[in-house]
Structure 1
Amino acid sequence: MLIIASYLLLGAVAGLVAGVFGLGGGIVIVPTLIFTFTFLNFDPQVLTHLAIGTSLASIIFTSLSAICIHHKHAAIDWSLALKLSIGMFIGGLFGAYVADLISGETLQGIFACYAIFVAIQMWFSLTPKGTYSLPRQLGCTLLGSSIGFISGLFGIAGGSLVVPVLAFYKINISKAIATSSVTGFPIAVSGALGYLWMGRDAVNLPEHTVGYIYWPALVGIVVTSTYFAKVGAKLAHGLNPAILKKLFSVLMVLVATELLFS
């Protein structure tokens, strides 16, 4: 019962993060699931892959919820989102393929380093000033593929990469956050499908698992994340998240440290 409650709480927190910061929630979901699966004595060789695959599957629903709210505020650049999404879908699949080639321990360490990167980015508000105009379709596809690959590898929606990249290309920060909620969807779909396929022959998987997706955690997260993603998206349009960013960055450093030395 306690484990189920933790999944529901995790979904609520992930939903808020997705809505407020446009991060998709994976940066919270993955480390929490790693700790939870470790507590449940899942095989160390597969538990990190399970955490990432389950995270991507949950982001499918979280991103849809956030998209609805941002669309109501007319904040999404749909044309740009579609240009990036083609490459992101391809990159998400490739990220899942590469992750399957990496050991669970190494993958956990790589994720921890990425979490520290996100923490530094948020603490110092490292959003580049708009310098260049957006590239044409081929450039956007290559850009999307790169972001999709990293996101598929780490089990995130890519908002921590999409937002600063779009800001670099002279896109308003609010529009960049809203648009990142859209681009997170193809990454989540392709990444989840990739982890589902790559994990089909994995050994020592726990019960209630298909591929690298653990269904009890997925259902618990989705039940609350879809609602709280809407709450978070509303907060993003009405509050200054500066203080929240500081607190969140500190939390990320603590989580990353635990992942590195556990």
Structure 2
Amino acid sequence: MMAMQHSELLIFFLVISFVYASVGFGGGSSYLAVLALYAFPFKELRLIALICNIIVVTGGVYIYVKSDQVNWKKVIPFVLLSIPMAYLGAVMRISEDTFFIILGCSLIIAAVLLWIKTNAARASNIQKVQKNVFLKNGILGGSIGFLSGIVGIGGGIFLSPVLNLMKWDISKTIAATASVFILVNSVSGIAGQLTALPANINHTRIILLCLAVFIGGQAGSRLAIKFNPVVIRRVTAVLVFCAGVEVLFKHVPSFL
């Protein structure tokens, strides 16, 4: 039974990493959704999700940087505050029920954002780099970074739709920004979690899951998905939403 569960997890993580990497995300919210359904310890599942995020988005960030699609002047305001805030979120000591309630709500929000079809700006009306925009983007990045640190995700699944709604830039630049954002927040979140990791972590399981997302992420970063991306996003949104509802259903009564 345990071997079957491990096989299922590997397949889930492979598919999730492939789909998310193809659109510039790490897949942290879906990793958490799957791990929560398998009743993983909440400290371990956050660590796994962040490590997998790093593995998946590193390849994407490399490709975006190499093709000169990262606008560092516009990225820096987001990450300047998100890095320390993600660390603070990760070091916060919260109860297991509180964590799962925050996770459940975050999964539902992520599902809604996945479902909504947003359009990026055109090159003619993108947001200019100004002082007031710098501050606004910094606050937005810090807020998402803090939530990401608590939950154990990179935050790109929240940042990308918001930037599209703001008509912040063209779609490729937003995808590149989200990838960088996920990468730095995931590293910062892991740094925070290293301050209080449980002693009984299953390292072999983590290595196998990392291998699965490495394969899926590399393939997703390089291959174009032949199916309609909107359909894929919405199917994923339904699954994430159901996982969020189930997490809340299990843990809200205990919290109350």
Q: Which of the five TM-score ranges fits, normalised by the shorter chain? A: 0.7 to 0.9
Letter in 1 for 2:61: I
What is the correspondence of 1:44-55 to structure 2 with a 5 Å cutoff? Answer: 47-55=41-49
Residue 177 of structure 1 is matched in structure 2 by 175
Residue 202 of structure 1 is matched in structure 2 by none
Structure 1 residue runs without a partner (length 5+): 200-204
The two structures, once aligned, show a CA RMSD in angstroms of 2.6
* Residues 36-66 of structure 1: per-residue CA shift (max 9 Å, x gap): 3x2xxx6xxxx12221122112212222122
Letter in 1 for 2:149: G
Residue 121 of structure 1 is matched in structure 2 by 113
Letter in 2 for 1:161: F
Residue 220 of structure 1 is matched in structure 2 by 208
* Residues 58-115 of structure 1: per-residue CA shift (max 9 Å, x gap): 21222212223334554332332334222221111011123x2x21112112211111
Name the CA shift for 1:27/1:226 in 2 (closer, same or farther; >3 Å). same
Structure 2 residue runs without a partner (length 5+): 251-256
8 Å Cα contact 1:63-1:185 kept in structure 2: yes
Residue 189 of structure 1 is matched in structure 2 by 187
Between 1:107-116 and 1:7-16, the stretch displaced more is 7-16
What is the correspondence of 1:19-58 to structure 2 with a 5 Å cutoff? Answer: 19-36=21-38, 38=39, 47-58=41-52
Letter in 1 for 2:63: I
Residue 229 of structure 1 is matched in structure 2 by 217
Q: How many residues of Structure 1 are paired with residues of Structure 2 in the alignment?
A: 242
Between 1:169-178 and 1:135-144, the stretch displaced more is 135-144
Distance 1:261 1:143 in 2: 30
Distance 1:31 1:140 in 2: 28
8 Å Cα contact 2:78-2:181 kept in structure 1: yes
Residue 92 of structure 1 is matched in structure 2 by 86
8 Å Cα contact 2:113-2:158 kept in structure 1: no
8 Å Cα contact 1:10-1:221 kept in structure 2: no
Letter in 1 for 2:212: T
Distance 1:218 1:15 in 2: 15
Distance 1:236 1:166 in 2: 23
Residue 159 of structure 2 is matched in structure 1 by 162
8 Å Cα contact 1:122-1:245 kept in structure 2: yes
Distance 1:95 1:82 in 2: 20
Cα shift at 1:245: 1.4
TM-score, normalising length: structure 1: 0.80
Distance 1:126 1:119 in 2: 14
